[in-house]
Amino acid sequence: MLPIRLACYGLRSVAANCKRINIGALSQISREFSSDERPQFPGSRSQWTEKLEFIRPDLYDGIPVYRVMDRKGKVIDPSQDPQLSQEMVIKMYKCMTQLNTMDRILYESQRQGRISFYMTNYGEEGTHIGSAAALDPKDLIFGQYREAGTLMWRGFTLDQFMNQCYGNMEDGGKGKQMPVHYGSKDLNFVTISSPLGTQMPQAVGAAYSYKRAQNGLCVMCYFGEGTSSEGDAHAALNFSATLDCPVIFFCRNNGYAISTPSKEQYRGDGIAGRGPAYGMLTIRVDGNDVFAVYNATAKARQVALNEMRPVLIEAMTYRIGHHSTSDDSTAYRSVDEVRYWDERDHPISRLRNYMLSKGWWGDVQEKEWKEDCKRQVMTAFARAEKKLKPNWKEIFTDVYHEMPSHITEQLKQMEEHVQKYAEHYPLKNFSKD
């Protein structure tokens, strides 16, 4: 069959030179435009129909949720077991539980007024560790703000977490960011930004750059189901598909966008339902099953690099904790609802059950690890709290490579002001370096 473009050229040329097209070609052109053939409208893949019917989303089953283990940690289909080593599985478990312990201590420290803000990761540990473990450490990560476990997996130390939350002189961001806004150039983790969705189009740009560089790496972009309502999400998903970028979009669908439940956030079949509309390979996984997350991410990375195209993963999970220390979730959900997920479908307990069934873990190891883990976290916590804040003059730096004259003038004015009213400022808490 002739391409439509070529067929149209033939029709236009008949008046100018009839010898350039024969009766057979005209017959084929006629067949191409016959109502019996498939529609040729650009931008769709359709068949003709004479039935006046609207698509009814309520008549379609939802996209299935891929899992490896049941809620008791038993592998359902042995062929889906990633067959990870004992050493790696134990590392996963320790990372998830250490994150949990760090969350409890830092959350309480905010309640005591020792840090200004915090966000826990309770219930979502499986999405962090399962996905991070399946990536290459050199792959670039764009997080939203609830992906501390991915950094912990890559080697971000407890001291670095604590220093950032305290904003002390050892904080890589020099105290200029809110707590939990982590970042690490060494670990290929782009610094967190508070506004929702800004990381998504940036991730696409980075992935497009990787594609041009042919460096064998991909980009991972995390976001929540609430962020999917932002315009940046649409722009990012569409650009990534049309530009064939090696990026994995990882949606943590934890049921709530702060206080807005998912049933009020969208009417369609979650976030995965949007993937095919963008022309993206899509999968929905059990986010509380660390092995399912691992398998899905490993496969997504393989596809993104081998086929040079984006992949969408929707990890179904549940946010057990409050959205942040600024939120009281008891105002919009019941305690019984939270208790169900904490006791019946927690990613940590599921992995622990798997390890117990393998004989890789036991009560003795659990007791020893809990004590050691808490000691490590508390030690790092104490060190960070004792350190001075960065020199206050740092607020004038790092915006420009070379400080312009108007900023220099502002710094001079501030120096004079602080010197004049020194008794009103806790200068002893700030570094002089």
Whether the Cβ atoms of residue 124 and residue 319 lie closer than 8 Å to each other = yes
Q: Please answer whether residues 322 and 48 qualify as being in contact, where contact means their C-beta atoms are separated by less than 8 angstroms.
A: no
Residue 188: which region, alpha, beta or left (left: phi > 0; alpha: psi -120 to 50)?
A: left
SS3 405: helix
Catalytic residue, chosen from 128, 181, 323, 346, is: 323
Q: Amino acid identity, residue 140?
A: L
| 324 is a catalytic site residue | yes
Give rounded-to-5 percent helix, strand, coil for the chain. 50, 10, 40
**Active-site choice (108, 409, 415, 416):** 108
* Alpha carbon distance 299, 248 (integer Å): 10
**CB-based contacts of 234, cutoff 8 Å, min separation 6:** none
Q: Which residues contact 66 (CB under 8 A, 6 or more apart)?
A: 283, 284, 285, 286, 292, 295, 296
Question: Distance between alpha carbon 26 and the CA centroid of its chain, in Å?
Answer: 54
Classify 350 as helix, strand or coil.
Answer: helix
- Please state the separation of Cα 38 from the chain's center in Å: 40
Comparing C-alpha atoms, which of 246, 291, 300, 295 is closest to residue 272?
Answer: 300
Sign of torsion over alpha carbons 389, 324, 220, 377: positive
Q: Which of 109, 228, 324, 329 is catalytic?
A: 324
What Cα–Cα distance (Å) separates residue 293 from each residue in 99, 204, 284, 302, 310? Answer: 18, 22, 9, 14, 17
Q: Which among 27, 194, 209, 357 is annotated as catalytic?
A: 194
Which residue, chain included where needed, has tokens 């350039």? 20
405 is catalytic: no
d(CA 221, CA 82): 23
| Lookup: tokens for 234 | 């649409």
Three-state secondary structure call for residue 334: coil
CA distance 244 to 262: 29
Contact 281, 312 (CB under 8 A): yes
Strands 281-286 and 256-257, by their bridges, are unpaired
Whether 131 is a known active-site residue: answer no
Compute the distance between CA of residue 81 and CA of residue 70 in angstroms, rounded to an integer.
12
Question: Which residues are catalytic, by number?
Answer: 108, 194, 323-324
